[in-house]
Amino acid sequence: VRLVEVEAYRGTQDPGSHGFRGPTPRTEVMFGPAGRLYVYFTYGMHWCANVVCGPVGVCEAVLLRAGQPLEGMELMRSRRGVDDERLLAAGPARLAQAMGLSRVHDGASLLRGSRIWIENDDDVVFSDADVSRTRRIGLSAGRGDELEYRWVVSASPYASRRT
DNA sequence: AGAGTGATTCTA
DNA sequence: AGAATCACTCTG
């Protein structure tokens, strides 16, 4: 997919982050080296994937919130049980499901030579003017909900909501 | 607007 | 141990 929406989480500096209260068995990956996936399970049924960003000992991660399907459309349709291309990866749990990400990918490396990776698009698709910065989704009040740590391609029909 | 669903973490 | 919470999605 082509990523069209992400959110930043700043660990111990950020009450909205799973890492706010320091490392736990669940969050230890986020306190490890950058370039790995932090995949967590929530609401009894959903997986969501983050990219760990900070140096060892510092919890920082970026939640992958939405993507535009580019390849493997039929595989993603079957994983999602949905036909509409715009709903295949429009949301963090939808994206993870479309990509087939779950427990076994927690801690997986994204570095060169890995089976999962992120790469720059050779074509320039979006300019800075296409990207909006907003408050994050799904955080209760007082949990860092006022921070504008969500970046989204405003006009993309593949984002998790219209902006 | 509400239900579904179960791991994780905090409190006692 | 028990309870609260939850970086969500789908269906009405």
Give the tens place of pLDDT for each residue, A1-22: 999 999 999 999 999 999 999 9
Give the CA A47 to C1' B3 distance in Å.
19
Nucleotide B8's nearest residue (CA vs C1') is A26
Element (H, E) at A133: strand A131-134
State the pTM of this model: 0.96
| pLDDT tens digits, one per residue of A35-66 | 999 999 999 999 999 999 999 999 999 999 99
User: A3 CA, B11 C1': separation in Å?
Assistant: 40
Can you read off the two tokens belonging to residue A91? 């949301």
Sign of CA dihedral A90, A91, A93, A99: positive
Closest CA to A152 of A140, A138, A141, A163: A163
A80: the nucleotide nearest its CA (via C1') is C9
Residue A148: Cβ within 10 Å count: 11
CA of A139 to C1' of C3 (A): 21
